Structure 1
Amino acid sequence: MTAPQPRGDVPRKKPSADRAAKRLGTLARKWGYLISTTAYLPHTPEEIERELGVLAGRLFDAVAGDPPDLAAAADAGGRLVELRCVGADSLRRSLEVLGKALVREPELRGTDGLAERVVLVLGAFSSGYGEMLREDIQKRQEGLSRALLKVEQETRQKHVISRAQFEEVFAGSASGVALTELDGRVLRANAALAKTLRRTPAEIAALTLFDLVHPEDVEQLRDGYRELVAGRLHRLRAGRRLVGKDGEPMWATFAASVIRDAAGAPRQLLTIVDDDTEVSLLQRRLSHQALHDVLTGLPNRQFFSTRLETLLRDADPARGVTLFHLDLDGFSRINGGLGQELGDRVLRGVAAKLKLVFEAEKALVARLGGDEFGVLVQNTAETPGVVALVRRIGTELGEAEYVDGQRGVAVSAAIGVVHRPPRDITPAELLQASDLTLRRAQRTGNQWGLFDRDLDRRDRHDFGLAASMAGAWENGEIEVRYRVLVAAASGAVAGVEARLHWNHPAEGVLPHETCVRRAAETGLALPLGTWLLRTAAERLAASGAGVPLVLELTAQQAADPDLVGEIRRVLDDTGLPPEHLRPGFPAAALTAEGGDAADNLKVLAEIGVRAEIHGFGDATCLTEFPVHAVRIAPNLAAKRDHPLVTGPLSALIDAAHTAGAAVSVAGVRTADEAAWWQDRGADLLSGPAFPGLPDGLPG
């Protein structure tokens, strides 16, 4: 981008192209992330980031121009439409992020009337966006008009053909068809109508249409036809009783329309008569299919949800209902390992077993979707307790089924139980409560869990926090802070650790651990972790502190295929020496299946980045990975004084030293704790006991 000349005669220092490019890259990355939340983009994130970087550069140049280059800004807005960034909020999000960046850009600060220039450029950008969007819509409308014209032409051709086909359709229709005068006199009747009425076409032609209808329904049908002929009805559809030759009444549906001449005047009536006996059967069958699972035959979620309100209302007020929400454990392994056909057989078996468990109860068993099932029991005096029913479910599902006489397949299920909810609870609230209870049981590793109002309220609160995190990040509520790491022996600053800090307007300050948990629940773990890495490194390099930076990686970050590449880019962009960046890998991630985290750690070691193992509690990992330091697992550190922990803890510290790794301990709160760890041989300490930080770094 081209920076404007500053005011006055003092020559301005030539801007750093590297710094400008870096800021453009950061802006493009954030712009791309925000705009991707507003519209589906048919491009990869790298392509979007590259395109938006070019557009951002044009806009910076447009602001710096004298006068501002509004044409270039308008072209940039049009290009945004060409990239299909046309969601409902795409332009608003773009203006927000660009407005902040243009006003804050260091290279533009000396520009006369910067705010006015930014407003003009963004106005032109919006105008170009709107004009291109209008042209795009116009092109689509023109295409639609051409398509409609083609359809009209084809319709005319079909109309000509339909005249020739009318006789074939009339004669071969499975529905009864009668062509009548406006007063109801039958001109022609097809064979299907004759069969329905058990008369011949000639017999029908000698009658009026009203002679074929039950006497009690004649006047209603006459009124309907009068409305139709008068034009007050476009099409008549009504259920009426027909009378066959034997006098036996039968229900049928009349669908009548007017045949008009070229001038639009009514000439004849065409009536289609369907025997509702077969139609009713078909409707019931279709209704059953719409409300029942095809595979298991159980009611589906839609049927289950609609029935909940009635069942809640009709339940015994004293005993209420109990909802069991089941999710099969490891069902994807059955599908993936043994095939979908076998998986379908297992699901049918689970449905049959659940019906067997609850056959003596007033219960509704349903398949809620995938491998989830729901059972609503209307409790009676004879209904077993919750624990007894959960055990029955587990026992029945655990009974192996032998497939092809060889494979014995059994499943288990996690169960969320809501026992005797309030009668005024809505079906949606009840299902949400059971789902939260089920997920809580799965998180804690329990086979089942009982609904707890306080825990439910906590989960809803946590999910609400997680849902608002993206907006908080965008609004600047989430910041990068640091905590100091000191040498246990001397107390000297030996490094700093980057931490997330959420200034929530209602909750107050939320710590790093809370931010990490909430980010993992909303898919922000990787982008937020990358932002933390880059921002922390940039600020540390700018501060000139010259101390190592420790960054605790999440399991997802540790296994990210782009981790090494991102760290390389951060080192190149900030000038931070590789040995001053120390990513902390979770010990569990290093031993996970796949080995991606382990591969990342080894590659980083090859380029001089000294990684750490966090959550250290097993010395065997030191035999496989080249690490600079280990951090004692929090659960071990918290129980350091326990007789069963103190000895193994000292052995772990000795093993780490033998492997050439420093030992770090986090969460040290007092000087006594620090002294305890120093006596045990710990090398690095951090926590509330050490508040000091190098100048220029926020704590």
Structure 2
Amino acid sequence: MTVPHPRGDDPRQKPSAERAARRLGTLARKWGYLISTTAYLPHTPEEIERELAVLVARLFEAVVSDPPELEEAAAVGARLVELRCVGADSLRRSLEVLGKALLREPELRRVDGLAERVVLVLGALSSGYGETLREDIQKRQEALSRALLKVEQETRQKQVITRAQFEEVFSGSASGVALTELDGRVLRANAALAKTLQRTPAEIAAMTLFDLVHPEEVGELREAYGELVAGRLHRLRVGRRLVGRDGEPMWATFAASVIRDAVGAPRQLITIVDDDTEVSLLQRRLSHQALHDVLTALPNRQFFSTRLENLLREADASRGVTLFHLDLDGFSQITGGLGQDLGDRVLRGVAAKLKTVFDGEKALIARLGGDEFGVLVQNTADTPGVLTLVRRITHELAEPEYVDGHRGVAVSASIGVVHRPPRDITPAELLRASDLTLRRVQRAGAQWGLFDRELDRRDRHEFGLAAAMAGAWETGEIEVGYRPLVAVVGGAVLGVEARLRWNHPVEGVLAHETCVRLAGETGLALPLGTWLLRTAVEQIAAAGVAVPLTVELTAHQAADPELVGEIRGVLESSGLAPERLRPGFPAATLLADSGDAADNLKVLAEIGVGAEIHEFGAAADVTCLVDMPTRTVRLAADVLAHRNHPLVAGSLAALIDAAHEAGAVVSVTGVDDEAQAEWWQERGADVACGPLYTALPGGLPAC
């Protein structure tokens, strides 16, 4: 008998239908909650509730159908399995909640035999659930079996491949390989190891691993392998000496690892042996090359520096050491005129001659780089004096060598000597002292010189200033100042001269001459001189000063191919008239063979820039007035310094007269007081500058 359900087309049944729907929803929610406590469900609570609501409706239909739809109920059980409601208590909880709900549902109370129908439906649900769960388990077991079988097959294949790979590596490896017991007994050895040891694999297999190494190293190797087997080392890599069949030692690297079983227990050892005999020889050769000069085979600067400390410490405390630092004179002329190959032969010859000079002495001879050599002598009671050794060096080097049919080639050397320095001096400090001494000898034009502590202090101070000059320029410590150029007769300001001024934070104000000298030692002469020229022109133009501007050029600046272009550019950008600028050319540059400075002066004259000749002091300088379009000369500083000497006074008067006869104006510097000004006036000088004259036009800063 079928119990009619409320239908939506009957208005009187709508309230009953809505209540039934709410009850079904409540039942699905309760069922979902209970079943979620029995199994992990790969669904959200909302998804489970929707699925179970559908299943509840299907069960209601199965109960009220006549006869009951048992297949539908079985399908509901199967669907529970599909939803993974397969926990240990999932079915029991489902039957409990569904049985109570179906029996208490008001809409089902009019159904005849409701209890029997519910029992049949729930039984069919259980049957469908169990059958589907059994099939699912069977499928999963079959899938698991297939997966395990596949894993087993793959494992066997990997074992076969691994074994084949091991055999290939073991047999074909270029490195020697030995498989041993934990006590070192050899189980297998490959052909490469047999070749290295000059034995057969069978002979090696009858030995222990420790029979292969030098007897002096067996103990250390046993100890290292014991650490490896005990697990205190993960991998062993050591260098050891092997012993071949002929007894000759060979260097090799042992790289060993432990082979463990499935539970991690050590079973065997595998050792890879690389023959390092050739590598060791190569490393020694490379080490020698890294510390020795390839050309002369002498120690290089690095080796010399590292040995200095030991030699200083080992030397006789009362006699000490002597360091000779040599730099060949004019070596670039040899290589430039006769070729690099001949220059190399000369360097090898110098090395051989130095060995001859110091033969019998405890001396370390090195090539420090280029054409520089160093000799450190550990003085003894029989060591000759410094002067004697210097004379031997110069005499030996002066002996000409005849190379490839060339006339005899001989060299000389400038030598800086540091005699008996303090024992606690560092190698770097000693080399620095010898280098500064050598440079001082070269600047003085001498052949050799001894280290002087006071001169060394002065040179280091100068070099420190020179090194800091670029930074000072960058930070604005170096400025442009001016001094007036005054008529000797009458004192009128005829012009101004731009000069450098370094406001040093420690040394105070450094004058123009010092700045120029330091710039020449650091390569700043040209860029700093160009900056002085450009800055001075711009400042004079901006200040509206009416008198001409003089800027003294350095030798490099005077011969610079870019000088004319630089002056053109700064005149155009500043608006200064060309006749207002008077660059000063050193006389020596105008007489140089290259003629670059002379060409610059002539081109400047063509565009209206009237140059001056500075450092004017030799008879030959007068020819500049004949060949150059300039009519202003400035006497050289060394002439001014000796102006009162009878020999200089006569030539000075003749020089001034010659300049006047050429129509040139004569300028002098360094006028300190009125007496000097009168002295120059009597000699015929026209323009003067110096501490006596301080008035500057236009508020220009003084130098």
> What is the TM-score of this pair, normalised by structure 2?
0.71
Tell me which residue corresponds to 1:255. Answer: 254
**Using the alignment, how far apart are the partners of 2:398 and 2:166 within structure 1?**
63
Q: Return the alpha-carbon distance in structure 2 between the equivalents of residues 462 and 639 of structure 1.
A: 26
- Helix, strand or coil for the counterpart of 2:325? strand
2:644 is aligned with 1:638: no
Alignment partners' CA distance in 2, 1:216 and 1:415: 51
Whether the 8 Å contact between 2:251 and 2:280 is mirrored in structure 1 is: no
Distance 1:268 1:358, change over 3 A: same
1:607 paired to 2:592 = no
Distance in 2, matches of 1:244 and 1:367, equals 41
- Structure 1 pair 558–254 and aligned structure 2 pair: CA distance change class (3 A): same
The answer on 1:655 being equivalent to 2:658 is: yes
- The within-5 A match list for 1:298-697 is 298-617=298-617, 618-697=621-700
Q: 1:166: Cα distance to partner?
A: 9.1
**Number of the residue aligned with 2:40:** none
Distance across 2 between alignment mates of 1:525 and 1:281: 51
CA distance in 1, matches of 2:612, 2:274: 80
Residues 228-243 of structure 1 mapped to structure 2, 5 A cutoff: 228=228, 233=233, 235-240=235-240, 242=242
CA spacing shift, 1:197–1:424, aligned 2, 3 Å = same
Indicate how the Cα distance of structure 1 residues 569 and 213 shifts in structure 2: closer, same or farther if over 3 A, else same: closer
- C-alpha deviation, 1:522, in angstroms: 2.1
Are residues 561 and 259 of structure 1, via their aligned partners in 2, closer, same or farther at CA, if it must alter by over 3 Å? Answer: farther
Q: CA RMSD in A?
A: 2.9
The aligned length equals 535
> 1:221, CA displacement in angstroms?
2.5
1:583 Cα deviation (Å)? 0.6
CA contact 1:486–1:686 (8 Å) conserved in 2? yes
| TM-aligned CA deviation for residue 338 of structure 1 | 1.0
Deviation at 1:236, TM superposition (A): 2.6
Pick which of 320-329 and 397-406 moved more.
397-406
Residues 237, 253 of structure 1: 8 Å contact kept: no
Counterparts of 2:184 and 2:595, CA distance in 1: 82
Contact 1:326 1:374 in 2 (8 A): yes
Amino acid in the other structure paired with 2:682? D
Deviation at 1:367, TM superposition (A): 0.3
The amino acid of 1:437's aligned partner reads T
In the alignment, what sits opposite 1:138?
none
Alignment-derived partner of residue 288 in structure 1: 288
Matches of 1:660 and 1:259, distance apart in 2:
102
Matches of 2:214 and 2:300 in 1, distance apart? 41
The change in CA–CA distance for 1:235 and 1:646 in structure 2 (over 3 A counts) is farther
The 8 Å contact of residues 414 and 448 in structure 2, kept in 1 or not, is answered as yes
Superposition map of 1:95-106 within 5 A: none
User: Per the alignment, in what secondary structure is the counterpart of residue 550 of structure 1?
Assistant: strand
Residues 239 and 251, structure 1, Cα contact 8 Å, conserved in 2: no
Aligned equivalent of 1:272: 273
- For 2:397 and 2:310, the matched residues in 1 are separated by 29
Q: Following the alignment from structure 1 to structure 2, what is the Cα–Cα distance between the partners of residues 318 and 183?
A: 60
- Which ranges in structure 2 are unaligned for 5 or more consecutive residues? 1-160
Q: Distance in 1 between matches of 2:262 and 2:628?
A: 90
- Residues 629-671 of structure 1, C-alpha deviations (whole Å, 9 max, x = no match): 1110111111112111112111211222222221110111121
| Secondary structure in 2 matching 1:691 | coil
CA distance in structure 1 between the aligned counterparts of 2:506 and 2:691, rounded to whole angstroms: 24
Quote the Cα distance in structure 2 between the aligned partners of 1:419 and 1:609: 56
User: Aligned partners of 1:697, 1:548: CA distance in 2, in Å?
Assistant: 13
Deviations 1:312-370 (A, max 9, x none): 11212222111110111111111121111111000000000111111132111110011
Q: Which amino acid aligns with 1:448?
A: W
Alignment gaps of 5+ in structure 1: 1-159
SS at match of 1:402: coil
Distance 1:642 1:241, change over 3 A: closer
Post-superposition shift, 1:547?
0.3
- Give, in angstroms, the shift of residue 407 of structure 1: 2.4
C-alpha change, 1:195 and 1:653, in structure 2 (3 Å) is same
Spell out, residue by residue over 1:406-453, the C-alpha distance to the aligned partner (whole angstroms, 9 max, x if none): 321111111111111111111000000000010111111111121110
Distance 1:508 1:648 in 2: 38
- Structure 2 contact 244–250 (Cα < 8 Å) conserved: no
Alignment of 1:119-198 (within 5 A): 173=174, 176-180=176-180, 184-198=184-198
Deviations 1:165-197 (A, max 9, x none): 995996584x64435466645454344533554
Contact 1:560 1:597 in 2 (8 A): yes
Contact kept, 8 Å, 2:625 with 2:631, in 1: the verdict is no
Deviations 1:217-248 (A, max 9, x none): 555434433545677546533344545568x5
Partners of 2:524 and 2:220 lie apart in 1 by: 65
Structure 1 distance, partners of 2:654, 2:493, is 26
1:659 alignment partner AA: A
Contact 1:236–1:254 (8 Å) recurs in 2: no
Once the two structures are TM-superposed, the CA of residue 273 in structure 1 deviates from its matched residue by 4.5
Task: Provide the rounded CA distance (Å) in 2 between the counterparts of 1:281 and 1:452.
Answer: 46
CA distance in 1, matches of 2:604, 2:383: 61
Q: Distance in 2 between matches of 1:262 and 1:530?
A: 82
**CA, structure 1 residues 244+297, in 2 after alignment: closer, same or farther (shift >3 Å)?**
closer
Q: Give me the whole-angstrom Cα distance separating, in 2, the residues matched to 1:263 and 1:440.
A: 78
Instruction: List per-residue Cα deviations over 1:560-598 (Å, max 9, x = no partner).
Output: 221111111111122111111011111222233433222
- Identical aligned residues as a percent: 73
Whether contact under 8 Å (1:179, 1:271) holds in the other structure is: no
Give per-residue Cα distances to partners, 1:93-118, cap 9 Å, x unaligned.
xxxxxxxxxxxxxxxxxxxxxxxxxx
The one-letter amino acid paired with 2:574 is T
Greater mean alpha carbon deviation, residues 342-351 or residues 543-552: 543-552
Q: Equivalent residues in 2 for 1:101-112 (5 A)?
A: none
Q: C-alpha distance in 2, partners of 1:591/1:234?
A: 80
Cα distance in structure 2, aligned partners of 1:505 and 1:332? 40
SS at match of 2:298: coil
CA distance 1:170–1:430, change in 2 (3 Å) = farther
Larger Rg: 2
Partner AA of 1:543 in structure 2: A
Instruction: Summarize the Cα distance change of 1:435–1:214 in structure 2 as closer, same or farther, 3 Å threshold.
Output: closer
Alignment partners' CA distance in 2, 1:645 and 1:400: 42
